[in-house]
Amino acid sequence: MKRESTGDVRCAILTVSDRAHAGTIRDASGPALARIIVEGGLGHVEATAIVPDEEDAIRAQILAWVDAGIELILCTGGTGFAPRDRTPEAVASILDRPAPGLMELARMRCLARTPMTFLSRGVAGLVSSTIVITLPGSPSGACEQLEALLDVLPHAIASARGGEVHK
């Protein structure tokens, strides 16, 4: 599939992890996602943050980035079955327009590598014109799911910007 050029996309990465926020572990997923964004020619990472698994903290950071004009926000962590995994609920509560097809596509494309992909409760959608995608917390899971979406994200971003998208 031909990719549209969107190398100027303003991106941010939010790592949701109690332990990374407390400094007891190093965030590996955020930097790995940033490499994919840059090396994949999607855009540049303007901001990163680490917050604990707290819905209010997740929502506040996302909304601050939306207000700052970030076009793509990737959240990594908090999408599993653990009791404190609340990222999908936090994000879903602020989405103006859900885009379930993005996560359906990511899970479908990642199935060949691992059936565990279906244990990710990730959600995606738009907050205003910003695309927000929640990804697993493991570096491999987060990267695999982002890579599974790289061919459709340029079109999604162009559409969210209000550009001509019918070809």
Question: Contacts from 96-99 at CB under 8 Å and sequence distance 24+?
Answer: 96/125, 96/126, 96/127, 96/128, 97/125, 97/126, 98/123, 98/124, 98/125, 99/124, 99/125, 99/126, 99/131, 99/156
Instruction: Identify whether the C-beta of residue 127 lies closer than 8 Å to the C-beta of residue 96.
Output: yes
Q: What was the pLDDT predicted at 163?
A: 75
Q: What is the mean pLDDT of residues 108-125?
A: 93
Chain mean pLDDT for the chain: 94
pLDDT band (50, 70, 90) for residue 140? very high
Q: What is the CA radius of gyration of the chain?
A: 15
Task: Give pLDDT tens digits for 40-83.
Answer: 999 999 999 999 999 999 999 999 999 999 999 999 999 999 99
**Contacting residues for 80 by C-beta, under 8 A, at least 6 apart:** 119, 120, 121, 136, 137
**Helix and strand totals (H; E) in the chain:** 7, 6
Could you tell me the pTM of the whole model? Answer: 0.94
* Closest C-alpha among 91, 96, 155, 161 to residue 120: 91
Cα torsion through 126, 127, 132, 134, rounded to 10: -100
Q: What is the mean pLDDT of residues 113-132?
A: 94
Instruction: Identify whether the C-beta of residue 45 lies closer than 8 Å to the C-beta of residue 108.
Output: no
Instruction: Identify whether the C-beta of residue 87 lies closer than 8 Å to the C-beta of residue 50.
Output: no
Which CATH number is 9-160 given? 3.40.980.10
Q: What was the pLDDT predicted at 3?
A: 40
Q: What was the pLDDT predicted at 1?
A: 35
Say if residue 4's pLDDT is above 90: no
